[in-house]
């Protein structure tokens, strides 16, 4: 650290780099060690100079024209960020504001959306178009509402009174939106500096290892991408079988996988799934517990991020991260940003206008 940079030395406030960047649009932030103090300028009144979580060296707030002198390419490589975002449910305005808040850059950052991109909110088509346009920078999972959209599009499911999918289904680009959606997976694994982050929309069964989860999600994805899709969508609904067995086959096997990955909240200690209760985790019905508390859960050694459970809300535990904070119900849309480790987390939220009433 450059000893002459006095106000850098005295800073202590921890503020997110991207928030800061959004606050000071005409300035960029660098992490170059030994940047000449002559280049250091103070563009804001608040004096928000800081150590950012996950970075060993303090951040210098530099005027944009000073960045070129210290190698902006290396700065941006070092500061690319990983985020997970909870259920968007057609609230494209909230998603746009959250991406603005985190200073999302499609050329630098990676965002995972944990499923339920569509339905209930006002503009599902815009959410899908935004994801498609972002390419590999925004990576999505399928949730139960996304599967419901595919089922409605294929005539396998009657629209519900509370659905807000009509505009999407009648849009000129609906075939492209649906083709993109049906190519999305039901589980993802991200390697973050050697640590594994497993992502699903709802939950996983206690008997499944991380590789089991990915393999079973792949089984469903293979069908979604095949000519068997319409038949699968017709057979997808139902609450039985309510437990996994390795010898399950055909529609029963796929239904258990889909139900666990996209609908699960509570199960018994032995992994029998319940689909009656959508209460908060503290209100578990007798004999049931949140899937992530099932004893002997084989994914316990992997950090699992999930959405789907708005009555649970933000859950920040060392082994699990819950991110559905009820955007469409007038709650928040929440992102978690990871620092250099998966334990280094920062929550970023935007408040949302209520689009629908629960119930």
Nearer to Mn ion, 105 or 311 (CB): 311
Residue with nearest beta carbon to Mn ion: 308
Rounded least distance, CB 220 to Mn ion, Å: 15
Closer CB to Mn ion, 116 or 274, in the complex: 116
Joined tokens for residue 21 = 């960047």
- Minimum separation from the CB atom of position 87 to Mn ion (A): 6
Shortest separation between residue 144's beta carbon and Mn ion, angstroms: 4
Nearer to Mn ion, 62 or 264 (CB): 264
How far is the C-alpha of 207 from the C-alpha of 210, rounded, in Å? 10
3-state secondary structure the chain: CCCCCHHHHHCCCCCCHHHHHHHCCCEEEECCCCCCHHHECCCCCCCCCCCCCCCCCCCEEEEHHHHHHHCHHHHHHHCCCEEEECCCCCCHHHHHHHHHHCCCCCCCCEEEECCCCCCCCCCHHHHHHHHHHHHHHEEECCCHHHHHHHHHHCCCCCCCCCCCCHHHHCCCCHHHHHHHHHCCCCEEEEEECCEEEEEECCCCCCCCCHHHHHHHHHHHHHHHCCCCHHHHHHHCCCCCCCCCCCCCCHHHHHHHHHHHHHHCCEECCCCCEECCCCCCHHHCCCCCEEHHHCCCCCCCCCEEEECCCCCCCCEECCCEEECCCCHHHCCEEEEEEECCCCCCEEEEEEECCCCCCCC
State the binding string over 131-170 for Mn ion (x if CB under 5 A, else -): ------------xx--------------------------
Residues 86-105 binding Mn ion (CB under 5 A) are: none
Q: Which stretch binds Mn ion (CB under 5 A): 114-122, 127-135, 178-186, 188-196?
A: 114-122
- Judged by CB under 5 A, which stretch of 25-33, 46-54, 173-181, 301-309 contacts Mn ion? 301-309
CB-based contact 54:293 (threshold 8 Å): no
Question: Contact region for Mn ion (CB under 5 A) — 32-40, 203-211, 242-250, 306-314?
Answer: 306-314
Q: Among residues 67 and 254, whose Cβ is nearest to Mn ion?
A: 254
From the list 162-170, 239-247, 308-316, 348-356, the region that binds Mn ion by CB under 5 A is 308-316
Q: Cβ 170 to Mn ion, closest distance in Å?
A: 24
326 binds Mn ion (CB under 5 A): no
Segment interacting with Mn ion, rule: CB under 5 A, options 29-37, 111-119, 129-137, 275-283: 111-119
Q: Which of 92, 116, 123, 146 binds Mn ion (CB under 5 A)?
A: 116
- Residue with Cβ nearer Mn ion (30 or 322): 322
Tell me the closest approach of the beta carbon of residue 307 to Mn ion, in angstroms: 6
Output 120 or 139, the one with its CB closest to Mn ion.
Answer: 120
Give whichever of 70 and 323 is closer to Mn ion, judged by the CB atom: 323
Q: How many residues bind Mn ion (CB under 5 A)?
A: 4
Q: How far is CA 158 from CA 25, 162, 233, 234, in A?
A: 47, 12, 12, 11
Position 308 contacts Mn ion (CB under 5 A):
yes
Nearer to Mn ion, 35 or 113 (CB): 113
188 or 308: whose CB is closer to Mn ion?
308
Distance CA 348, CA 98 (A): 8
Q: Which residues bind Mn ion (CB under 5 A)?
A: 116, 143-144, 308
């Amino acid at each position: 650290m450059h000893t002459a940079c006095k106000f850098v030395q005295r800073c202590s406030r921890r503020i997110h780099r991207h928030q800061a960047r959004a606050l000071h649009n005409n300035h960029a932030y660098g992490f170059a060690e030994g940047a000449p103090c002559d280049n250091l300028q103070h563009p804001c009144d608040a004096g928000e100079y800081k150590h950012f979580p996950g970075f060993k060296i303090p951040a210098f707030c530099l005027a944009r024209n000073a960045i070129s002198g210290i190698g902006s390419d290396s700065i941006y490589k070092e500061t690319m960020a990983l985020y997970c975002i909870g259920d968007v449910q057609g609230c494209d305005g909230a998603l746009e504001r959250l991406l603005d808040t985190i200073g999302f850059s499609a050329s630098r950052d990676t965002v995972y959306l944990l499923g339920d991109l569509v339905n209930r909110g006002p503009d599902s088509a815009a959410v899908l178009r935004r994801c498609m346009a972002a390419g590999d920078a925004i990576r999505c999972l399928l949730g139960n509402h996304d599967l419901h959209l595919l089922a409605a599009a294929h005539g396998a499911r009657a629209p519900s009174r509370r659905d807000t999918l009509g505009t999407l289904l009648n849009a000129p680009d609906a075939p492209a939106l649906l083709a993109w959606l049906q190519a999305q997976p039901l589980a993802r694994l991200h390697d973050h500096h050697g640590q594994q982050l497993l992502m699903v929309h709802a939950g996983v069964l206690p008997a499944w290892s991380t590789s089991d989860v990915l393999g079973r999600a792949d089984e469903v994805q293979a069908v979604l991408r095949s000519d068997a899709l319409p038949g699968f969508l017709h057979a997808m609904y139902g609450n039985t079988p309510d437990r996994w067995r390795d010898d399950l086959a055909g529609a029963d096997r796929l239904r258990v996988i889909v139900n666990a990955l996209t609908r699960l909240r509570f199960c018994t200690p032995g992994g029998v799934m319940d689909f009656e209760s959508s209460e908060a985790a503290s209100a578990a019905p007798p004999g049931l517990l949140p899937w992530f508390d099932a004893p002997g859960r084989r994914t316990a050694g992997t950090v699992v991020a999930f959405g789907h459970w708005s009555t649970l809300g933000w859950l920040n535990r060392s082994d699990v991260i819950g991110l559905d904070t009820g955007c469409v119900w007038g709650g928040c849309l929440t992102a978690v940003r990871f620092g250099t480790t998966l334990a280094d987390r920062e929550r970023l939220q935007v408040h949302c206008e209520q689009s629908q009433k629960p119930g």
